[in-house]
Chain A
Amino acid sequence: MWNYEKRLQYPVNITQTNPKTAQVIISQFGGPDGELAASMRYLSQRYTMPYNEVTGILTDIGTEELAHMEIICAIVHQLTRDLTPEQIEKSGFDKYYVDHTLALWPQSAGGTPWTATYFQSKGDPITDLHEDMAADAASM
Chain B
Amino acid sequence: MSEQKPCRRELLEWINTVSFAVDDVKLFLDTHPCNAEALEYFEEFKKQRVQALKEYAKYYGPLTIDTASPCEDHWTWIHEPWPWQKGGC
Interface residues of A (CB under 8 A from B): 3-12, 53-54, 56-57, 60-61, 64, 70, 73-74, 77-78
Whether B84 pairs with A77 at a CB distance below 8 angstroms is yes
Within 8 A of A (CB), among B38-63: 62-63
Question: Which 6 A-B residue pairings sit nearest by Cβ, starting from the closest?
Answer: A7-B89, A74-B84, A56-B30, A57-B30, A6-B63, A8-B83
Is residue B71 within 8 Å, beta carbon to beta carbon, of the partner chain?
Answer: no
Partner of A7, one of B27, B30, B31, B83: B83
Given contacts A3-B65, A74-B83, 11 further A-B contacts (CB under 8 A): A3-B66, A6-B77, A7-B89, A8-B89, A9-B20, A11-B16, A56-B31, A64-B23, A64-B27, A70-B84, A73-B84
SS class of chain B's interface: helix, strand, loop or mixed?
Answer: helix
In the assembled complex, which residues on chain B have CB atoms less than 8 Å from the CB atom of A77?
Answer: 84
Whether A70 pairs with B83 at a CB distance below 8 angstroms is yes
Is residue B33 within 8 Å, beta carbon to beta carbon, of the partner chain?
Answer: yes
Whether B89 pairs with A78 at a CB distance below 8 angstroms is no
Partner of B27, one of A5, A8, A57, A78: A57
What are 15 inter-chain pairs, A to B, with CB distance below 8 A? Answer: A5-B64, A6-B77, A7-B12, A7-B15, A7-B16, A7-B63, A8-B84, A9-B20, A9-B23, A10-B16, A11-B12, A56-B30, A61-B27, A64-B27, A74-B84
Task: Kindly state the separation between the CA atoms of A64 and B20 in the bound complex, as whole angstroms.
Answer: 11
